[in-house]
């Protein structure tokens, strides 16, 4: 049986130099910030709480961390008990040298859900997190009530396979981002990588880049983000796939993949890039609420 260790944390390190991340997770509203033992490591998570509310577990994308979900979670915390965890190698969770394969990430997530005694959560994942929650729900049919995939990486990989050859350059980029510093990262995201976001989302995005280990890129070894063609037919709970804006030919390919889901729904969000919830927050909120209302 998995052990349970919960340590509530207070405060950050506001006086640190620009390039140094906080020594402890930043407080956010009245959300719990704590650690759990799962699959042999400590995972950090934020939790909105709320007795009697249905659970919603959020899995972030590669090089992000749990609090990158903050803006979305604030829109749903009145209705859901939301858990936003830092995947291994990310945020304030343990950063072992290895392993970082998809199956290990799935074991981490399942261990967290079981250790926190969460019953039938809705699982939502972005990019890498989408691949994690999809495989978790497909492997453990009784785990989730429903699944929401935001531009999931397993689907992207099926369309445009990512090879191991890009690992060294991607790790170099992660190291460069860590050296760049918070202010420059925010400017880079605002002006080039992710224009149009809310100011607070830039701050959290930059913080996630200061906290991540380059080793997380090792997920690309072997099976990488997995294969939606294998996973999706086994995912038997209601599943919403939110996709970034795309041309007509790409949309047709996306639909072919989503049709592999026994209970799948595909929605393209006009004008959205890879981080759909930040690019088009109101449209994202509307589609998620509509999906959840049908459960």
Of 99, 106, 160, the C-alpha closest to 128 is 106
Ordered by where they begin, the domains of the chain are: 32-293 (3.40.50.1820)
Instruction: Output DSSP code: residue 279.
Output: H
User: 11: left (phi > 0), else alpha (psi -120 to 50), else beta?
Assistant: left
Instruction: Output DSSP code: residue 271.
Output: T
Share of the chain above pLDDT 70, in %: 93
Q: Encode pLDDT of 12-66 as tens digits.
A: 333 333 445 567 887 899 999 999 999 999 999 999 998 899 999 999 999 999 9
Q: Is 267 helix (H, G, I), strand (E, B) or coil?
A: strand
Instruction: State the sign of the Cα–Cα–Cα–Cα dihedral 91, 288, 49, 52.
Output: negative
Q: Encode pLDDT of 165-185 as tens digits.
A: 999 999 999 999 999 999 999
Backbone angles phi, psi at 141, to 5 degrees: -60, -25
How far is 183 from 44, CA to CA, in rounded Å?
25
- pTM for the predicted model, two decimal places: 0.92
Q: Is 6 helix (H, G, I), strand (E, B) or coil?
A: coil
């Amino acid at each position: 049986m998995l052990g349970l260790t919960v340590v509530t944390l207070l405060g950050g390190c506001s006086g640190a130099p620009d390039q140094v991340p906080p020594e402890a997770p930043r407080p956010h509203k009245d959300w719990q910030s704590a650690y759990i033992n799962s699959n042999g490591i400590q995972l950090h998570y934020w939790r909105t709480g709320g007795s009697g509310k249905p659970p919603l577990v959020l899995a972030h994308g590669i090089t992000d961390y749990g609090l990158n979900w903050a803006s979305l979670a604030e829109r749903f915390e009145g209705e859901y008990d939301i858990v936003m965890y830092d995947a291994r190698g990310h945020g304030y969770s343990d950063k072992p040298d290895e392993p970082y394969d998809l199956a290990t990430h799935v074991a981490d997530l399942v261990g967290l859900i079981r250790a926190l005694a969460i019953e039938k959560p809705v699982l939502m994942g972005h990019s890498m997190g989408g691949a994690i929650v999809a495989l978790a729900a497909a492997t453990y049919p009784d785990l989730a009530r429903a699944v929401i995939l935001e531009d999931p990486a397993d689907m992207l990989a099926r369309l445009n396979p990512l090879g191991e050859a890009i690992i060294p350059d991607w790790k170099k980029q992660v190291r460069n981002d860590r050296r760049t510093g918070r202010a420059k990262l925010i400017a880079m995201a605002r002006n080039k990588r992710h224009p149009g976001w809310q100011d607070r989302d830039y701050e959290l995005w930059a913080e996630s880049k200061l906290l991540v280990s380059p080793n997380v890129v090792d997920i690309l070894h072997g099976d990488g983000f997995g294969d939606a063609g294998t996973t999706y037919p086994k995912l038997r709970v209601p599943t919403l796939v939110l996709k970034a804006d795309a041309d007509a030919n790409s949309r047709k390919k996306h639909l072919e993949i989503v049709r592999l889901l026994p209970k799948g729904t595909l929605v393209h969000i006009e004008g959205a890039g890879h981080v759909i919830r930040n690019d088009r927050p109101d449209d994202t909120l509307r589609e998620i609420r509509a999906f959840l209302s049908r459960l």
